[in-house]
Copies of this chain bind each other. A is one copy, B any other.
Amino acid sequence: MSTPGSASVADLGERRIIADIRAKLLPAPAWLPIGIGDDAAVVEPERGALEVLTTDSLVEGVHFDRRFSTAFDIGWKALAVNLSDIAAMGGRPRVALLSLGLPPALAAGDLDALVDGFLALAREHRVVLAGGNITRSPAPLIVDVTVSGAVRPRRVLTRAGARPGDEIYVTGSIGAGLAGLRFLEQSSGREPADAEIAACVAQYRRPQPRSRIGALLGSNRAASACMDLSDGLADALRQIADASGVGIAVDGEALPIAPGARRWFESAGMDPVQEALAGGDDYELLLAVPRRRRGRLTTVSRQSRGIPLTRVGQATAEIGVRVVRNGTAEPLPAGFVHF
């Protein structure tokens, strides 16, 4: 953007903002006959596929703090949380809509960086920005994103398919999002010197949604149920158990807690297992895998470029989610609460 650094979005005006965003876009694919600039976008559905449609927003003061995250981080994360939802359904993302509520005093350079962060992740995941909306917001910065993707019929991963005996897996590692946020809250904006804690902060700011592994799980039907961890592992365990009508026995010692998170929680006198279960802001996937499909899961693991898949428990006929550690049952913490 060729705007002087001191300009605000109110100085730019809506037309200029939209023109600046359009100038950043790659040429539209043939299946997007109408993108930004008309009353609505027009998308050619993928032949033979179902559409997966989700929306999620980040609100300043609730989901992010501009002392902890740059504008680039915020744009990135606003898309990431939606891509995570598409991945959790076994879909592949195709187009995104970006709806912005901008405080008039927001620096033009910050808006520019926010859009850059959004588009950087969009390019990594081959998602096309197809439209959106820009409005004034009296106070908080609001970033509301909609993502549409494609999934094959009978390849949709819901929360409801787990059966007793299915093994429960988690992708990647957990606890990093929460540990990263807690570090930032207590460090008054200082960046971490420790590399493992820095990794937690980075994951809090710019989570990597599991698009590839989600699409692989959908297409090879390894999983019987799937959900993302945006509201924490404890919440996801409960949701899958409830929707599937099963219980889940969780092995508290098996949780793949990020090393920096484990260390940070311990140094703060907190229990890493309970914290990682409560969590939130981990954009990993929780999945149920029937034993007879374990081979398919191995294939997914091999094709997913080294993303760990850790077995953390098992679905049971007995209802309820139970965490067992050192042979003792533990309470399951509540998930992230939006209110």
Which of B44, B62, B86 interacts with A138 by CB under 8 Å?
Answer: B62
Does the CB pair B338–A134 fall under 8 Å? yes
Known: A42-B52, A51-B51. Contact between A137 and B13, CB under 8 A?
no
A274 in the interface (beta carbon within 8 A):
no
Does the CB pair A52–B41 fall under 8 Å? yes
Does the CB pair B132–A55 fall under 8 Å? yes
Residues of B near A228 (CB, < 8 A) are 39
Residues of B near A95 (CB, < 8 A) are 53
Residues of B near A39 (CB, < 8 A) are 54, 84-86, 88-89, 159, 226-228
A208 in the interface (beta carbon within 8 A):
no
Please measure, in the bound complex, the distance between the C-alpha atom of A101 and the C-alpha atom of B141, giving whole angstroms: 12
A241 in the interface (beta carbon within 8 A):
no
Does the CB pair A14–B338 fall under 8 Å? yes
Known: A9-B339, A156-B34. Contact between A133 and B56, CB under 8 A?
yes
Please measure, in the bound complex, the distance between the C-alpha atom of A131 and the C-alpha atom of B144, giving whole angstroms: 14
Give the size range of A's interface with the partner.
35 or more
Residues of B near A43 (CB, < 8 A) are 50-53
Which residue of chain B has the shortest Cβ distance to A82 in the bound complex? Answer: B40
Q: This chain: how many copies in the complex?
A: 2
Which of B10, B33, B89, B97 interacts with A146 by CB under 8 Å?
Answer: B97
Please measure, in the bound complex, the distance between the C-alpha atom of A53 and the C-alpha atom of B36, giving whole angstroms: 11
Give the contacts of A1-25 with B (CB-CB under 8 A): 9-10, 12-14
Does the CB pair A339–B10 fall under 8 Å? yes
Does the CB pair B44–A50 fall under 8 Å? yes
Does the CB pair A135–B38 fall under 8 Å? no
Closest Cβ of chain B to A28, distance in Å, is: 13
Does the CB pair A53–B38 fall under 8 Å? no
A45 in the interface (beta carbon within 8 A):
yes
Known: A135-B62, A140-B137. Contact between A337 and B13, CB under 8 A?
yes
Closest Cβ of chain B to A95, distance in Å, is: 7
Does the CB pair A89–B54 fall under 8 Å? no
Interface string of A235-258 (1 = CB under 8 A from B): 000000001000000000000000
Going nearest first, the 9 A-B pairs with the smallest beta carbon separation are A40-B54, A45-B45, A39-B88, A39-B85, A144-B144, A146-B146, A61-B138, A43-B51, A55-B97
> Which residues of A are interface residues toward B (Cβ below 8 A)?
9-10, 12-14, 33-34, 37-45, 49-57, 59-63, 84-86, 88-89, 91, 95, 97, 99, 101-102, 104, 130-140, 142, 144, 146, 148-149, 151, 156, 158-160, 226-228, 243, 337-339
Can you name 14 extra interface pairs (CB under 8 A) apart from A39-B84, A42-B52, A134-B338? A13-B337, A14-B338, A14-B339, A38-B158, A39-B86, A42-B89, A53-B97, A53-B146, A57-B99, A57-B135, A59-B137, A60-B138, A137-B140, A148-B148
- CB<8 Å pairs between A and B, sample of 21: A14-B337, A33-B50, A34-B158, A38-B158, A40-B85, A42-B52, A42-B89, A43-B51, A44-B51, A51-B51, A53-B130, A54-B131, A55-B97, A56-B99, A56-B133, A57-B133, A57-B144, A62-B136, A99-B144, A134-B338, A135-B338
